[in-house]
Amino acid sequence: MTSETLKEIGKKLNISRFTVARVLKNDKYVSKKTRALVLKYLKKTPYVPNAHSTMLSSGKVNVLGLVFFGGVSMLTEFYAQETIKGVSEAAKRKGYQLMLFTQDKFDSFECLKLYMSRLVAGFILPSIGKENFKYVLELKRKKVPLVLICSHLKGVSSFGCDNVVGGYLATKYLLDSGRKRIASLCGHKNWIDAADRLEGYKKALEERGKQLIKEYVQHDYGYDSYDSYDNYEEMAVKKLLALKEPPDAIFTANDKMAFAIISLLKKAGRNIPRDIAVVGYDNVPICEDFSPSLSTVAQPIKDMAFAAAESLIKIISSGKTKDYTRFFKPELIIRQSA
Amino acid sequence: MTSETLKEIGKKLNISRFTVARVLKNDKYVSKKTRALVLKYLKKTPYVPNAHSTMLSSGKVNVLGLVFFGGVSMLTEFYAQETIKGVSEAAKRKGYQLMLFTQDKFDSFECLKLYMSRLVAGFILPSIGKENFKYVLELKRKKVPLVLICSHLKGVSSFGCDNVVGGYLATKYLLDSGRKRIASLCGHKNWIDAADRLEGYKKALEERGKQLIKEYVQHDYGYDSYDSYDNYEEMAVKKLLALKEPPDAIFTANDKMAFAIISLLKKAGRNIPRDIAVVGYDNVPICEDFSPSLSTVAQPIKDMAFAAAESLIKIISSGKTKDYTRFFKPELIIRQSA
DNA sequence: TTGTAAGCGTTATCAG
DNA sequence: CTGATAACGCTTACAA
C-alpha cells in the first residue's frame, strides 16, 4: 500500500493539489467549506507525504547517521547499546530518524559520501581514536555536521566522560581500603580512554607518594586498538602472579577484562577480594550478578549520547557549528570485588 | 560540502546534464572525447548523486527498517545486538542502508506510515509476540514487505530457531546427567519463545515417564511480557528452595535469569552445580567468564538475522512476497554449571 | 481564497 | 551520439 499523492487527492475532490497542501499545512487561506471537504476525505484516507520528495524540495533531511566502526562486533559493546538508546531517544523526541552504519575502520570518505548524497544530515561518531582525529577535522572543514561521543577533540562538539577522574577514583578507593600493590590492565595503547584512565591511576598513586611500578602496568600489544591479543588477560595475570611481589589489587580499563581476570585468578586459587581486589570500568549490567559482584566505574553513556544527538540536531537545524562540548562525571560503584 | 549536481557539472563542461548522466551510467552512446572530458572532471571532483532524488525518480528505496519494541531498553538484549549485526551485514553486502526504529509497543500503524512515506522499503521485525500477529498480517495484507526473526507466523517469511528442541535438549541433558528434580524458570506466559522452551522441557520429562510437578514451573506474573516483576527470580528461588523436595537442577528460559538465580542460590549456600545444576538459554558472551561458567542453549541469531534481511531484500527487489521461511537449530553448550 | 508556475535532482523516453 | 521533454511528489512564491 502506498499513499495517495496530493495530486490524486486533489483530482478526486475536484480541487488543485495546492489547496490540499494548504489544508495539510493549516494555512489560513482556505475556505471553510473546502477545508471541511478535504479534512473529511483525509479522515478516511490518511495521507502520508513522500519523504524523499519532501527532503528534495525542502532541502531538509531529518535523518541522523550513527557510525560504529571496528566491525559489527563492536555492537556487542555495552557503550554501543547505550549510545544507540540515547541517540534513539533524542532523535525520536525531535522527529528525526536514525540511520545506522557499521564500518571496519573509520572511513571518513564514506561518511562524506553519505552526507553528500543527503541520506543523512550529520553524524554522531562514538569512540573516535586519536589516529582518526585528522579525518574528523577534515570532515568538519567540509562542513559536515558532526558530534563525538566518548572522545574529545578540540573544535568539535564532544560529549565525553572524564576518564582521568574515573581512573583516579578507582585507584584512590583501592588505596583507601588498604591495598598496597595496585596493578592495572589498561588495554591497547592506542585506546585513548584507557590511557586517560591509566593517567588517573598514576595520579592517585603519586598523590600518596607511591612509586609507579612498571611491571604492574600491563598493556595489550595486540595488532591494533580494535583487535587485542586473544589471550591478553591470560598473559597479564600470569605475569602479575609470577612477580616477586604480586599485586593485591587490579584496576582494569573495562569490565570485560575484569570478569576475565577474576575468572583466571579464581582458577589460580586466589580469593577475590580477600587476596586481590578488582575494580572494573563501565558498569555493564552483569556486574551485579557476577560473583563476586564487580566494583566498577560507571559512565552515563546514554545521557552523553542523548546530549550529543540533541546538539547535532541543533547544529543541523540552525546551520551553525556552535561548540556544545560537555563533560560528564564518572561514578565509582562499590560492590563485592573491592 | 554538498555534491555538485549533474546540471552544474554539465554547465561547467558546456554539455548537457544528460550526457554527464550517460557517462556515469556507462552508457555506450557517448563519444570518446566527451566521455574523457567528463571522466577527467569527475576524477578531480567526485560526484555523489542525491539519494532522495534518485529514490523519487526511480521509485526504488534501498533502505531497510529494523524495528525494536519494548522500549529502548530492549537494545541491551543480546538478541538485539546480534540481530543488528546480521542485518547490517546483509544490508551492506547488498547495498542497502539500515534505519533503526524503537517503539514502546509494536505499532503497526507507525510502520505503515514509515512505509507509505517511502522512508523504508520494508521491515525486519524481531521477536513479535502472538498478541501482535494480527497487526503483522494486516501490514502484509497492505503489501508492506516484511520478515520476522525469532518468531514464526504462517504466511510471513519467518526466521526462527526451534525453541521446543532447545528446551528439550537442555532438559534431556540434565536428566542424562542424573538430575532427578528439574525446575524451570520460564518467564512471562506471553513470551512465546519461553512457552516453546517449556514445552521442550515437558517433552523431555514425558519421554522419561516423569510426572510434571507444578511447583517446579515458575512463571513470571509481571505486568506484561516486556515488563517482568523486578524480583521474579528472587521469588522463584525462594519458593523452589522452600519446597519439601527442592529441585536439583533448574532450566531457565534465558541466561540473564540463570545468572540471577545462580547468584541467589550461592547466597543461599548452595553449590553450583553440585547441589543444583543450572542451564540457561542464549549463550551471551559472559557465560564463559561467569563462575561457574554457564551451560546454555545457543541460537544462531546473527545468521537468522542475516538470512532474514537477505530475504527481505529479495522480496523488495522482486516485488513478490515469496515465503522464505527457514528454521534454525539450537545447540546445547556444556560448561561448568551443569 | 484559489490556481499557476518554477524548482528540487534525478531517470526514462523520445526526437534529432 | 546528443539534447530536449516529461515525470517522480513536494515546496515556495506569485498571479488571479
Per-position DSSP letters for A162-204, written without gaps between them = -HHHHHHHHHHHHHHTT---EEEEEEETT-HHHHHHHHHHHHH
Higher pLDDT, B206 or A28: B206
pLDDT digits (tens, 9 = 90+) for B36-72: 888 888 888 889 999 999 998 888 999 999 999 988 8
- Residue % of chain B over a pLDDT of 90: 71
Judging contacts by C-beta atoms under 8 Å, the chain A residues touching residue B56 are 50, 52-53, 56
From CA A337, how far away is CA A11, in angstroms rounded? 72
Model confidence at B226, pLDDT cuts 50, 70, 90, reads: very low
For residue B292, cis peptide bond before it (omega within 30 degrees of 0) = yes
* Rounded-to-integer distance, Cα A250 and Cα A184, Å: 5
Write the CB contacts of A280 (distance below 8 Å, at least 6 apart in sequence). Answer: A252, A254, A255, A257, A258, A259, A287, A294, A295, A296, A297, A337
How sure is the predictor about A226, in pLDDT bands with cuts at 50, 70 and 90?
very low
pLDDT tens-digit map of A164-178:
999 999 999 999 999
Task: Output the pLDDT for position A223.
Answer: 56
**pLDDT (average), residues B140-162:** 95
Residues 73-92 of A with CB under 8 A from B: 73, 75-76, 80-81, 84-85, 88-89, 92
CA B141 remoteness from chain centre:
23
Answer whether B94's CB lies under 8 Å from B118's CB. Answer: no
Share of chain A above pLDDT 90, in %: 71
Q: What is the mean pLDDT of residues B103-132?
A: 94
Q: Is strand D in 7 Å reach of the CB of B141?
A: no
Mean pLDDT of chain A: 92
Count of alpha carbons within 13 Å of A46, Cβ hemisphere only? 10
When pLDDT is averaged across residues A294-323 and rounded to a whole number, the result is: 96
Nearest to B174 by CA among B280, B326, B80: B280
Looking at residue B325, its pLDDT comes to 97
Domain B61-161+301-328 matches domain B163-298 at the CATH topology level: yes
Flag whether pLDDT at A331 surpasses 70: yes
| Least confident interval from A22-36, A278-292, B109-123 | A22-36
Nucleotides of chain D in contact with protein CB (under 7 A) are: 1-5, 7-13
Q: Cα(A167)–Cα(B292) distance, rounded to whole angstroms?
A: 29
According to the model, what pLDDT value does residue A224 have? 52
CB contacts under 8 A, A 218-277 vs B, are 259-260, 262-263, 266
Cβ contact, residue pair A2, B113, below 8 Å: no
Alpha carbon separation from B130 to A184, A187, B264 (Å, rounded): 49, 45, 32
pLDDT: is B78 or A305 the higher one? Answer: A305
* pLDDT score for B225: 45
In tens, the pLDDT along A152-163 reads 999 999 999 999
Q: Mean pLDDT, to the nearest integer, of A319-336? A: 95
Summary mean pLDDT of chain B: 92
User: Which residue has better confidence, A310 or A1?
Assistant: A310
| Better-predicted residue by pLDDT, A131 or A137 | A137
pLDDT in tens, B308-336: 999 999 999 998 999 999 999 999 999 99
Instruction: Report whether pLDDT(B265) > 70.
Output: yes
- Would you tell me the crossing angle of helices B51-58 and A51-58 to the nearest 10 degrees? 130
To which H or E segment does residue B101 belong?
A: strand B97-103
- pLDDT for the residue numbered B259: 94
Among positive and negative, which fits the CA dihedral B317, B320, B321, B327? Answer: negative
Residues 6+ apart with CB under 8 A from B230: none
* pLDDT over threshold 70, residue B223: no
Distance from the first to the final alpha carbon of chain B:
59
For residue A196, name the pLDDT band (cuts at 50, 70, 90): very high
Is there a contact between A143 and B117 if contact means CB atoms under 8 Å apart? Answer: no
Strand-strand pairing, B123-126 and B146-149: parallel
Tell me which of B286, B296, B321 to substitute to probe the interface with A (most A C-beta atoms closer than 10 Å).
B286
First vs last C-alpha separation in chain A: 59
Strand D contact at CB of residue A7, distance < 7 A = yes
CB < 8 Å from A in window 270-309 of B: 285-286, 289-291, 293
- According to the per-residue pLDDT averaged within each range, which of B21-35, B105-119, B208-222 is highest? B105-119
φ/ψ of B70, rounded to 5, equals: 100, 20
Nearest to B50 by CA among B13, B6, B115, B116: B6
Task: For residue B34, name the pLDDT band (cuts at 50, 70, 90).
Answer: confident
Main-chain phi, psi angles of B188, to 5 degrees:
-75, 145
Which positions in strand C are less than 7 Å from the protein's CB atoms?
Answer: 1-5, 7-13
Whole-number percent of chain B with pLDDT over 70 = 97
C-alpha dihedral, B137 to B142 to B143 to B149, nearest 10°: -30
Pairing of strands A97-103, B97-103: antiparallel
pLDDT reported for residue A74: 85
Fill in the amino acid letter for B97: Q
Q: Which pLDDT value is given to residue A42? A: 87
What CATH number is given for A61-161+301-328 in this structure?
3.40.50.2300
- For B331, the 3-state DSSP assignment is strand
Q: CB contact, 8 Å: B118 with chain A? A: yes
Mean pLDDT over B64-89 rounds to 92
At A323 the pLDDT is 97
Q: Do the Cβ atoms of B150 and B127 come closer than 8 Å?
A: yes
Q: Is the CB of B38 under 7 A from strand D?
A: no
pLDDT tier for residue B10 given thresholds of 50, 70 and 90: confident
- Give dist(CA A272, CA A252) in Å, integer: 14
Asked whether residue B1 carries a pLDDT value surpassing 80, the answer given is no
- Mean pLDDT over B264-271 rounds to 94
Torsion over CA: A34, A60, B95, B308 (sign): negative
Q: Where are the domains of chain A?
A: 6-49, 61-161+301-328, 163-298
Residue B283 has pLDDT above 90, yes or no: yes
- Tell me the per-residue pLDDT of A248-262, one tens digit each, with 9 for 90 and over: 999 999 999 999 999
CA dist B194 and B167 (Å) reads 9
B245 by DSSP, 3-state: which? coil
Cell numbers found for residue B61: 528505496
* Whole-Å CA distances, A11 to A16, A99, A270: 7, 36, 81
Tens of pLDDT, residues A28-81:
778 888 888 888 888 888 889 999 999 988 889 999 999 999 888 888 889 999
- All residues of chain B having their beta carbon less than 8 Å from the beta carbon of residue A72 are 84-85, 88-89
Q: Which fold has domain A163-298?
A: Rossmann fold (3.40.50)
Least confident of A113-117, B3-7, B170-174, B265-269: B3-7
